[in-house]
Structure 1
Amino acid sequence: MSSLWQNSAAVAGIGVAAVVSAVYLSKRSAAPEIPAIDINHQSVELEDGSRVHAGLEDPNQLLEYLYEDSKTVLECLHRGARVSNNGPCLGYRDGDGPYQWIHYNEVIEKAEAIGSGLVSLGCSPGEDTFVAIYSQNRPEWIMCEHACYSYSMVVVALYDTLGKDSCRYILDQTKCTTAICDNSEKVDSLLLQCDELPNLRNIIKINDVTPEEKARANKINVNLLQLSELEALGRKDKHKLQPATPNSLATLCYTSGTTGDPKGAMLDHRSVVANSAGLYSQMKDSVRIEPNDTLLSYLPLAHMLERVIETLMYCEGSQVAFYRGDVKLLMDDLKCARPTVFPCVPRLLNRIYDKVLAGVAESWLKKSIFDMALKYKEREVQKGIIRQNSIWDTLIFKKVQNLLGGRVRLLVSGAAPLSPKVLLFLRAVLGVPVLEGYGQTEATAGTNLNVLGDPTVGHVGPPSMSVKIKLIDVPEMDYYIKDNKGEICFKGPICFRGYFGNAKKTADTIDSDGWIHSGDIGEWLPNGALKIIDRIKHIFKLSQGEYVAPEKIENVYIRCPLVAQIFVYGDSLQSYLVGIIMPDEESAFAWASKRGLKKDLQELSVNETFKEAVMTDLNRLGKENGLKSFEQANKIQFNLGHTCIQ
């Protein structure tokens, strides 16, 4: 990323004549993308006041699946094997080498053997059996997931940022007897907690098991196996397959709230398949996913956004390449995998935006030419024209497009809001559809997605084809449905069953009519798209009586290049806010290098000059984005704990 625009001589060499020629050539006509629906009427209102996607053939019939032979996550994988003619399925890299591929039939064969091995260990087929997967994204994650589905077992996904206490709580609540880990660190963490986890009898390690680990496990009567051993056991002792049905529970997806124990959202196969079907159906006439398409898997598989999109890729026989597990190597993995479909989160997109602009700001000439090109491309985007074949793409933007591998033809952003300014910039510079989505784990992943071909920004599009959405009054915040504003509520096949083992939280979220209450405030725009404008939850009052919504502030502050993650905290006994910050290593080290300081986050976290630099930039961003004085953080503290891409 840092090498962008370094060759200033080359850019400067374009010269006045070249710029004039570029302007002339750029005026060649290009056709706008034709949306699948009327972008001025994106949703339809039903008798009960809810709204559904305008593209549904029958507004009262929500979409549950794409194909008759693919109604479960497992069936989607099997369909992929057929339509791809056993094409490449899961890709991985050894060191700096090229991607190597495991084909569909081998993935299915290994998954069934692993599943049979789980049964041999005493895991009973059926949705009363929970198997934990505690690993970074890698091919084995998918094989173990489908091993569970081959015997109707339920996947419980664990991830580092939950913390040790939360992981222990989840394993205890689900009474997991078996956990699958990728490395020694996680195995060690589980072995240390086994005295508090009486049900945990089997730990499966994906990487090699060391003699020391084996001895420790034996000492406390825990069966520690390598994944290859489990697979061999399943091949030797074959059990009859008992595949999941659409109504089978597929996974527990635990969400870590700011207070209390994590909540496990119960999602069945029907919900996961319906979610991918509903989102894809609104764009498949324009962007068709095919066997030669590739996705780079780097967003955590413990979260549903990644799993829903991967389910779609497998259903269409496409290829999924896995990053090497190190965010610092992500850009290199992108260049090697050259994905065509790229799900993303605003944090990464904001970094691309900031670093591109910082790169061109180094020279007046570079910035002038770049601004001219950007202005022209943004005007095209606002007319519905998105392309990569303009003269500006060739001369200016190709370097940025190549950052993502040079083949991306669809980018979907989710998990947090993306600023309209950044969204317009990316559509222009990358020259591909960049669609913003919205959703919650309780609705599997996505409930809304921009319509492909709609040039407007600042909203999340209509409901997907698998959900209906209504707004309800929130009088305490002065939001009323008569003004087309209120709390967003969901209903449809994508919705979860409830929280595992927590009837009270379930009743707080799902009302007596079956509507899920999101806690988010939305507004129906005149074109039928939904705009997220506020949030009910996570609002607190400061000592002077002012109400603060920390998520709004966090979404502003996360744009600071020196910040990787931020948590804004306050309470009613204090008059000011505190920001808890995980510094961005790359930007922090660049800042330190310019000042002759050591590239060490621990030292920087106690450096007052660095702290002042972060505070100054946060205040600048707050003012630029209209934060009131009481919404600005008065103090910050650095936290050097684990980070997560999301």
Structure 2
Amino acid sequence: MTKAARAHPGSWRMWKQLSAMAQGLSMWFSGKLEFVLSILEKMQTQEILRILRLPELGDLGQFFRSLSATTLVSMGALAAILAYWFTHRPKALRPPCNLLMQSEEVEDSGGARRSVIGGSPQLLTHYYDDARTMYQVFRRGLSISGNGPCLGFRKPKQPYQWLSYQEVANRAEFLGSGLLQHNCKASTDQFIGVFAQNRPEWIIAELACYTYSMVVVPLYDTLGPGAIRYIINTADISTVIMDKPQKAVLLLEHVERKDTPGLKLIILMEPFEEALKERGQKCGVVIKSMQAVEDCGQANHHAPVPPQPDDLSIVCFTSGTTDVGPSSCCWYPALDESGVAKWRDSMDWEV
């Protein structure tokens, strides 16, 4: 033991502990800052203070000379890791407004408030003049992407497959034209039910409706059979596009009981058996595959009938406290998501 170590036995023991820890860290110090910090957090405050009690300055040189080269390298590596973290650690974002006052009252509104970020009390309906409806928003995406990838999907543990913008646009026009060939109208008076989980066909069906000014009405399993029956009758839905044959059976049961006499056409995204088609014929419901309707539309193509900015686009029924919830109607100005871009561009985020 050196003279410095004998003069300060407590500090010597603490430094030996730190040296041993540093030697272990030298084997994997690169990229292991989180582990080092977790070790330091677990140490008691008094123990850290004891470790930091250095020898007298006059003996410091002799103390370091007594350490092995491996220990010194390990300590240097630890110091480098800490220095790198302190100089490159993430910095907090400065918010764009006072978080204690994020809204302000609108003049002559009876107490209504608006965000202070917008900069204008006028309701934002669109950002680009050529994107005032969801149909125009999609066409703008097709244009500025150069027919880039639009819809991606994959099976479990499989890579993504992509449909391009033009592929989606073509399928939407074919499906929409097929709907017109099956007695649907290119009008906001035509309500089309979509009863499916999230998948590319859902978006294609939605875009088909927008392409020919029809109104989308989503249906959900969680609403329950009673609510689905109510929505079909209230919205006067004659056509429902759905994913699974089991859901078609549910709707056919309503028709067979005369609960939904207006339902005339079911379009299925997935394959189904001939027996299901025959069951539908017995109660006056035509059942066709989505691909068959698209093929029909491709053979009998209709020019798009785009909606106007003030037209109705979608009707969503919510699940209320009773079996049937209220409906929410959305017009295109409320759905124009390009308005988000204006809000984002107005942000002045500072680091």
TM-score w.r.t. structure 2 length?
0.72
- What's the CA shift string for 1:153-197, capped at 9, x where partnerless? 110001110011111111111111000110111111111111311
- Asked if 1 retains the 8 angstrom alpha-carbon contact of 2:312 and 2:332, the reply is yes
Show the counterpart of 1:43: 103
Is residue 54 of structure 1 aligned with residue 116 of structure 2?
Answer: yes
Is residue 257 of structure 1 aligned with residue 334 of structure 2?
Answer: no
Show the counterpart of 1:596: none
What is the SS of the residue equivalent to 1:27?
helix
The equivalences for 1:91-490 within 5 A come to: 91-194=152-255, 195-273=258-336, 276-284=337-345
Is residue 27 of structure 1 aligned with residue 69 of structure 2?
Answer: no
Show the counterpart of 1:66: 127
- 1:26 and 1:267 map into 2 onto residues whose CA distance is 49
How far has the Cα of 1:279 moved from its partner?
4.3
How far has the Cα of 1:35 moved from its partner?
4.3
- 1:282 and 1:129 map into 2 onto residues whose CA distance is 34
Q: Which of 263-272 and 36-45 deviates more?
A: 36-45
- Asked if 2 retains the 8 angstrom alpha-carbon contact of 1:283 and 1:452, the reply is no
- 1:61 and 1:13 map into 2 onto residues whose CA distance is 48
- 2:251 and 2:290 map into 1 onto residues whose CA distance is 16
- 2:204 and 2:175 map into 1 onto residues whose CA distance is 8
The 1:283–1:212 alpha-carbon spacing in structure 2 relative to 1, beyond 3 Å, is same
How far has the Cα of 1:21 moved from its partner?
5.6
The 1:12–1:62 alpha-carbon spacing in structure 2 relative to 1, beyond 3 Å, is closer
- 2:168 and 2:339 map into 1 onto residues whose CA distance is 26
Is residue 76 of structure 1 aligned with residue 76 of structure 2?
Answer: no
Count of matched residue positions in the alignment of Structure 1 and Structure 2: 278
- Asked if 1 retains the 8 angstrom alpha-carbon contact of 2:195 and 2:219, the reply is yes
What is the SS of the residue equivalent to 2:275?
helix
- Asked if 2 retains the 8 angstrom alpha-carbon contact of 1:125 and 1:242, the reply is yes
- Asked if 2 retains the 8 angstrom alpha-carbon contact of 1:56 and 1:62, the reply is no
Letter in 1 for 2:272: V
- Asked if 2 retains the 8 angstrom alpha-carbon contact of 1:132 and 1:180, the reply is yes
The 1:42–1:217 alpha-carbon spacing in structure 2 relative to 1, beyond 3 Å, is same
How far has the Cα of 1:124 moved from its partner?
1.0
How far has the Cα of 1:19 moved from its partner?
7.3
Structure with more contact order per residue of length (Cα contacts < 8 Å, sep ≥ 6): 2
- Asked if 2 retains the 8 angstrom alpha-carbon contact of 1:151 and 1:242, the reply is yes
- 2:333 and 2:34 map into 1 onto residues whose CA distance is 57
5+ residue gaps in structure 1?
1-9, 287-450, 455-646
What is the SS of the residue equivalent to 1:243?
coil
TM-score w.r.t. structure 1 length?
0.40
- 1:121 and 1:143 map into 2 onto residues whose CA distance is 18
- 2:233 and 2:137 map into 1 onto residues whose CA distance is 31
5+ residue gaps in structure 2?
1-27, 40-74
How far has the Cα of 1:84 moved from its partner?
0.7
How far has the Cα of 1:453 moved from its partner?
6.7
How far has the Cα of 1:60 moved from its partner?
3.5
- 1:106 and 1:92 map into 2 onto residues whose CA distance is 14
How far has the Cα of 1:70 moved from its partner?
0.4
How far has the Cα of 1:127 moved from its partner?
1.1
- Asked if 2 retains the 8 angstrom alpha-carbon contact of 1:135 and 1:181, the reply is yes
What is the SS of the residue equivalent to 1:282?
helix
- Asked if 2 retains the 8 angstrom alpha-carbon contact of 1:36 and 1:282, the reply is no
- Asked if 2 retains the 8 angstrom alpha-carbon contact of 1:88 and 1:103, the reply is yes
What is the SS of the residue equivalent to 1:63?
coil
How far has the Cα of 1:117 moved from its partner?
0.7
Structure showing the higher strand proportion among its residues: 1
How far has the Cα of 1:283 moved from its partner?
2.6
- 2:349 and 2:275 map into 1 onto residues whose CA distance is 55
How far has the Cα of 1:229 moved from its partner?
0.4
The 1:12–1:230 alpha-carbon spacing in structure 2 relative to 1, beyond 3 Å, is same
Q: Which has the larger radius of gyration?
A: 2
How far has the Cα of 1:55 moved from its partner?
3.6
What is the SS of the residue equivalent to 1:203?
strand
Structure showing the higher helix proportion among its residues: 2
What is the SS of the residue equivalent to 2:227?
helix
What is the SS of the residue equivalent to 1:270?
helix
- Asked if 1 retains the 8 angstrom alpha-carbon contact of 2:226 and 2:323, the reply is no
The 1:95–1:51 alpha-carbon spacing in structure 2 relative to 1, beyond 3 Å, is closer
How far has the Cα of 1:151 moved from its partner?
1.0
> Identity of counterpart residues, as a percentage?
34
- Asked if 1 retains the 8 angstrom alpha-carbon contact of 2:126 and 2:132, the reply is yes
- What's the CA shift string for 1:381-422, capped at 9, x where partnerless? xxxxxxxxxxxxxxxxxxxxxxxxxxxxxxxxxxxxxxxxxx
The 1:452–1:162 alpha-carbon spacing in structure 2 relative to 1, beyond 3 Å, is farther
What is the SS of the residue equivalent to 2:173?
helix
- What's the CA shift string for 1:341-378, capped at 9, x where partnerless? xxxxxxxxxxxxxxxxxxxxxxxxxxxxxxxxxxxxxx
